[in-house]
Structure 1
């Protein structure tokens, strides 16, 4: 604290350091038969896994190859680099001399290896609970509570109860005798589940039918557009955007997905469409422009998703065959990687299907388009929601302006 070190994960670092130092009372940190007689938490420590082989930052090259094609490979490397940065920051000490300020390695910190530090980092990352105690937001490791598996929709809620000075878990419904008690880790895409908890959800669909799984897409302006390319780039910079990466899900209501659509509309915009766009909104929140522009945006997204699918080693059908073969245990890294990578492919397939189903609608007359909207897009799936959000908006705007 005195050195005001800039950690990548500041909210975890102090809990990690307490965990590491309190475990020092044993010889050989990997032998979790750890008899830490002098620690109040010795029984809790005995429940912690000695290795975290399910966490992707500890996966072998073979295991990482199962994720080929996904941006999560880069996220894993970034997480490892962030842990290394915090490790190096924690190991450094500034010494003030008569002539200069010198940076040296803190000798006392050398007793913690990077592997041990990484283990503690992921223990805290995957098990901590965010709490408010005495009006202060903090994080805590909670014995027994951290054993609860994830399930949605949530069946329990938890908090720190100031009146009894304790962490409490409350059932939101009836839990039968002998039934498993679950916790909800929140509405998350499988990127976050796999990276932070070491598992992926086979069917990550929420109760409302939405699926938060995402695929990261890199959008690029076309230099061949000449001056229009530079005008669009300036518009992006004026909007505070310097890279057009967007995480797209099947849900058009998600802010990230809407941003991706905005980028696609901008990229395919003609000079006339661009002139109208930049007068209405920032680059990351452009609403539909016209039927013609929306067709080109959908075609562009379809092309991007087709390319993304080509980056994966297997198809969805091959993934399903492997899963059906039961060659690997359900909770093996192989199957968790399969659940994850298949989820990305399903998002890509959705955008292909969206384009194929919606683009023909725009060739209809306005009256026919409105009728078809009511007849064929009145359901509650993701494509229908897109139609209701975007197509209805365009029809309304065209009729209103005409």
Structure 2
């Protein structure tokens, strides 16, 4: 199933605008023209085996095309295995050797598409068309009228049942609430905008035909740098490589003199040549390739947090954390506490819940961050402003009281996030246990499950941390030390608490937890005639 290929930005974050067609119009047209592509088990089985009876003559014409245009693939051949097309080594390839080199003249870039007959006519009309639209229009024109690129375009896949664009209502219900839902809506609208332009230059073109061509481009293009300019390119033979991680091969986007794939390790004769499509969440895998990974450490989930008011003393310090939409502050995060996105979210939670301004200002300024009363004036050097902007994105724990308030806000946001979905995590996990579940529905369910598991991770972590932080100072240090020492899933977060909350002394280290024999006394100080606990509880 990994033949669905390459990292296009089908899910580009295109902002909706008035020029986009209404979704009602799109839905009506999809119902009329794309019915034949809606998924059912019979069609899925047929599509999975689409290459088992591949046209041998087309493959021979592709090989002739590659040879005539200087493509170097000395130890490669195309095979059909279990109905799927792949590239295999005919002899051992050593580490550092060239696996494949495709010269510039054999690559279909956006510029090549714009220079074609249909591309020039569209440009002359001064109508806007996306780079993917130009490539799709060129592909359709070549298939109709023939030409230099026809041997290559003839072997490009023509069915994409796993792509969300062709989902029926049952499949789409699974995606509602996921972080890719709005991306799907935007991508669908952008594709229809492209269709409205291209259909005026290719008479008789249906939405069905254009959607297939658009997906052929989206699933196969590489992002390249040619002559100092970014462009999109379809690279023959390279786009047949399937995915694995970590990658045994490497390619660079700098393709002014051609596209080259190198071996990062020895590749054995008879083995399949694979590459990594990059790190992405299951949702983005689904949008760009129509598939999901069973185990994916790069899964993402979106949190919507309340936006603080402009009068808040740390409003300016939070402006570059996440993004704002519909009076909500949004963060797209993994489960890695050390990642920038997660640290940005926790920094926002801490600053948004600060009540002791002097303590918070001291904690922030001492770490080289921005004072809430300091203006970004011209007095500060550009270097200092950049350092402050970088530092302020990672605010350390300020106090126990502040951390509890931040975690409670996180719990509330997590509970709201669960309400976005049409099914529960338990229902989805039960559905995945069904061996007869259609593979398209399985992937759609996996995309939703990966997000819900992340939400559960943060919900459990926040509730655990609140229980620990509400303990007495000694029990607090011991409980945090236990979390760190045992390497539990929340270890990184609790280690961060251990390092930065001043209730912890160097005595409470991961390797030496206090016992009854060595239990230190709780230090107290006299302040304004009363006893107060020394440390982060002040």
TM-score bucket of the superposed structures, by smaller chain = 0.7 to 0.9
- Alignment check: 8 A CA contact 1:305 1:348 kept: yes
Residue of structure 1 equivalent to 2:209: 116
Distance 1:86 1:167 in 2: 28
The answer to whether 1:288 aligns with 2:374 is no
Distance 1:20 1:237 in 2: 50
Distance 1:263 1:77 in 2: 29
- Alignment check: 8 A CA contact 2:180 2:284 kept: no
Deviation at 1:111, TM superposition (A): 4.6
Pair 273,24 (structure 1): closer, same or farther in 2 beyond 3 Å:
farther
Distance 1:153 1:376 in 2: 30
Match of 1:316 among 421, 425, 432: 425
Kindly provide the CA deviation profile for residues 354-391 of structure 1, in whole angstroms up to 9, marking residues without a partner as x. 11332233235556645554443146665111222344
The answer to whether 1:184 aligns with 2:276 is yes
**TM-score normalised by length of structure 2:** 0.58
Residue of structure 2 equivalent to 1:198: 290
Kindly provide the CA deviation profile for residues 167-225 of structure 1, in whole angstroms up to 9, marking residues without a partner as x. 33333224444433322110111221111111111210xxxxxx221111221248xxx
Identify which range, 382-391 or 186-195, moves more after superposition: 382-391
Deviation at 1:60, TM superposition (A): 1.1
Residue of structure 1 equivalent to 2:138: 18
**TM-score normalised by length of structure 1:** 0.75
Residue of structure 2 equivalent to 1:144: 237
Distance 2:470 2:208 in 1: 59
Unmatched runs of 5 consecutive residues or more in structure 2? 1-122, 365-369, 373-387, 507-533
Identify which range, 59-68 or 131-140, moves more after superposition: 131-140
- Alignment check: 8 A CA contact 1:265 1:288 kept: yes
Distance 2:186 2:484 in 1: 42
- Alignment check: 8 A CA contact 2:164 2:184 kept: yes
Residue of structure 2 equivalent to 1:219: 305
Which fold has the larger relative contact order, with Cα–Cα distance below 8 Å and residues 6 or more apart in sequence? 2
Residue of structure 2 equivalent to 1:96: none
Residue of structure 2 equivalent to 1:248: 333
- Alignment check: 8 A CA contact 2:250 2:264 kept: yes
Distance 2:488 2:237 in 1: 38
- Alignment check: 8 A CA contact 2:359 2:398 kept: no
Residue of structure 2 equivalent to 1:257: 342
Report the RMSD for the aligned CA atoms in angstroms: 3.6
Residue aligned with 1:15, SS: helix
Unmatched runs of 5 consecutive residues or more in structure 1? 26-37, 92-105, 205-210, 223-228
Distance 1:68 1:375 in 2: 39
Judging by fraction of residues, say which structure has more helix.
Answer: 1
Pair 109,353 (structure 1): closer, same or farther in 2 beyond 3 Å:
same
Pair 301,161 (structure 1): closer, same or farther in 2 beyond 3 Å:
closer
Kindly provide the CA deviation profile for residues 43-69 of structure 1, in whole angstroms up to 9, marking residues without a partner as x. 332322223221112211111012233
Residue aligned with 1:169, SS: strand
Pair 117,236 (structure 1): closer, same or farther in 2 beyond 3 Å:
farther
Q: How does 1:153-172 map to 2 (within 5 A)?
A: 153-159=246-252, 166-172=258-264
Deviation at 1:304, TM superposition (A): 1.9
Aligned residues: 358
Distance 1:160 1:310 in 2: 41
Q: How does 1:1-400 map to 2 (within 5 A)?
A: 7=129, 9-10=130-131, 12-25=132-145, 38-88=146-196, 90=197, 107-109=200-202, 111-133=204-226, 135-159=228-252, 166-204=258-296, 211-221=297-307, 229=309, 231-232=311-312, 235=315, 239=319, 242-243=324-325, 244-270=329-355, 272=357, 276=361, 279=371, 286-329=395-438, 332-364=439-471, 369-370=476-477, 372-378=479-485, 382-395=489-502
Pair 42,380 (structure 1): closer, same or farther in 2 beyond 3 Å:
farther
Residue aligned with 1:143, SS: coil
Kindly provide the CA deviation profile for residues 134-167 of structure 1, in whole angstroms up to 9, marking residues without a partner as x. 555433212332232222222221247979x653
- Alignment check: 8 A CA contact 1:288 1:294 kept: yes
Pair 275,323 (structure 1): closer, same or farther in 2 beyond 3 Å:
closer
Deviation at 1:250, TM superposition (A): 0.8
Pair 293,398 (structure 1): closer, same or farther in 2 beyond 3 Å:
farther
Distance 2:352 2:282 in 1: 29
Deviation at 1:126, TM superposition (A): 1.5
Q: Which has the larger radius of gyration?
A: 2
